[in-house]
A and B are shown apart, each in its own frame.
Chain A
């Protein structure tokens, strides 16, 4: 099977940088995705990493190390609106579906 582990909560201050880690176990690797979900809202796609290294999209970056079965989401210049839950997700081997981690709740404080 597959499993993903993320911290349950992270707190940071406005303007700072925060890193949300994700470690995973899978028999076949097909990439790691990240989603953001505000309270009461729908999850929205943030990024996808298939290869090792850093992918940057504006203030958000996502990193992958396949040899360590590890990835992280980096949020820079934090804003209050970044307060949300963040999920890492793995494609299910042989399927067009995803297995999600349990999510990290980010609280940005003034």
Chain B
């Protein structure tokens, strides 16, 4: 079974802090994704990566950056956290093209105070 592990289930940070969310997958997938999920808005794509050191902006990249130094690890960085970034963050991985299923982690519920 594919395992996508997010480093924290719950996280509380303060406004202005630099926040790191980590995600690791164990199935050698080339594609990895970060989404945020808010009530009534579904899942919105922040950034994705299709190879080591490669990244592409999603629909809502403002205020975020990412890092992919190793194939199995994809990090989401909030450069200076703000209260409007309080949300559920979901990481996913997938192989091949966009017709392949995405495998999700359990999510990190991030609160910015």
A109 at interface, CB cutoff 8 A? no
A24 at interface, CB cutoff 8 A? no
Chain B, interface residues (CB within 8 Å), range: 20 to 34
If A8-B40, A30-B98, A42-B107 touch, whether A95 touches B56 (CB-CB below 8 Å) is yes
B58 at interface, CB cutoff 8 A? yes
A48: which B residues are within 8 A, CB to CB? 99, 101
A97 to B45, CA, bound (A): 8
Chain B residues with a Cβ under 8 A of chain A: 4, 31, 33, 35, 40-45, 48, 50, 56, 58-59, 90, 92, 94, 96-99, 101-107
Mark A29-56 against chain B: 1 for CB-CB distance below 8 A, else 0. Answer: 0110101000001111100101000000
If A42-B104, A45-B102 touch, whether A101 touches B42 (CB-CB below 8 Å) is yes
| Partner among A41, A42, A45, A100 whose Cβ is within 8 Å of the Cβ of B42 | A100
A33 to B94, CA, bound (A): 14
If A42-B90, A42-B104, A43-B43 touch, whether A99 touches B59 (CB-CB below 8 Å) is yes
